[in-house]
């Protein structure tokens, strides 16, 4: 059964394939790049959940297939939850992971270790062509390093050290990250719904 992923982020596609595969879902996952004729939807929501639903509904309507979407980001306590939904374009250019991470580190340079709590958040949304929807959240809590370390993953992975670990998300193997990540938690919560739907 076909399930479309409303994302153009190849890192997310890779993680979602592994997460849903490990959850035992035998589905043919197709990224949004397979539908170049479908325009990207404006992420006008003010929460992760709203933006994930916007992306999922747009692709479900355009393709007539069930669609899932991921809206995610890094929320820093001392910044009142920023970058949050703006994580992908914190330094201005959408998807410039290196610039985003460096700007954030600069903004936090005076913040001492005990005050560097942050978490990754992920909203996993499912939308059906008939308009039905589900959305669930996942989180990964940790603290922010002063320098990036590690080369796995993407985005802010090199600076988030998950609680209970002494390494960053970018030092975890993909399987280790998926087992504890915000994305893993959110999509594992959605998996039973997907299983019922896709049979
Ligand atoms: P789509 O909207 O096409 O899915 P995007 O990259 O624009 O792709 P978002 O708007 O959800 O997606 O932004 C997510 C950003 O949050 C991403 O660019 C990273 O900077 C950060 N992020 C999300 N999940 C992450 C993770 O697992 N590890 C590190 N950074 C992450």
pLDDT of 63 strictly over 80: yes
From 28, 40, 71, 96, active-site residue: 71
Helix axes 10-22, 182-198, angle to 10 degrees: 60
Residues with CB under 6 A from ligand 1: 7-9, 12, 70-74, 87-88, 95, 97, 100, 120, 153-157, 181, 183
pLDDT at 58: 96
Does pLDDT of 9 surpass 90?
yes
Domains of the chain (ranges; CATH) run 2-198 (3.90.950.10)
3-state SS assignment for residue 134: strand
pTM for the model stands at 0.97
Give tens-digit pLDDT for 124-144.
Answer: 999 999 999 999 999 999 999
Ligand 1, closest atom to CA 12?
A: 4
Give me the mean pLDDT over the 98-125 stretch.
98
Omega before residue 21 within 30° of 0, cis:
no
User: What gap in Å lies between CA 24 and CA 5, rounded to an integer?
Assistant: 17
Check if 71 is active-site.
yes
Check pLDDT > 90 for residue 145.
Answer: yes
């Amino acid at each position: 059964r076909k399930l479309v992923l409303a994302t153009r982020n190849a890192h997310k596609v890779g993680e979602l394939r592994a997460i849903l595969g490990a959850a035992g879902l035998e589905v043919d996952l197709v990224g949004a790049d397979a539908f170049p004729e479908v325009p990207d939807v404006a992420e006008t929501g003010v929460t992760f959940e709203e933006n994930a639903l916007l992306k999922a509904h747009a692709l479900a309507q355009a393709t007539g297939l069930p669609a899932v979407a991921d809206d995610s980001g890094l929320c820093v306590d001392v910044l009142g939850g920023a970058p949050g939904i703006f994580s992908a374009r914190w330094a201005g250019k959408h998807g410039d992971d290196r610039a985003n991470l460096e700007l954030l580190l600069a903004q936090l340079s005076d913040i001492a270790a005990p005050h560097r709590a942050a978490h990754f958040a992920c909203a996993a949304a499912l939308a059906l062509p008939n308009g039905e929807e589900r959305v669930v959240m996942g989180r990964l809590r940790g603290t922010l390093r002063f320098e990036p370390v590690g080369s796995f993953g993407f985005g802010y992975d090199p600076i988030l050290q998950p609680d209970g670990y002494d390494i960053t998300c970018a030092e975890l193997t993909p399987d280790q990250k998926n087992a504890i990540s915000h994305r893993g938690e959110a999509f594992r919560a959605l998996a039973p719904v997907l299983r019922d739907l896709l049979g």
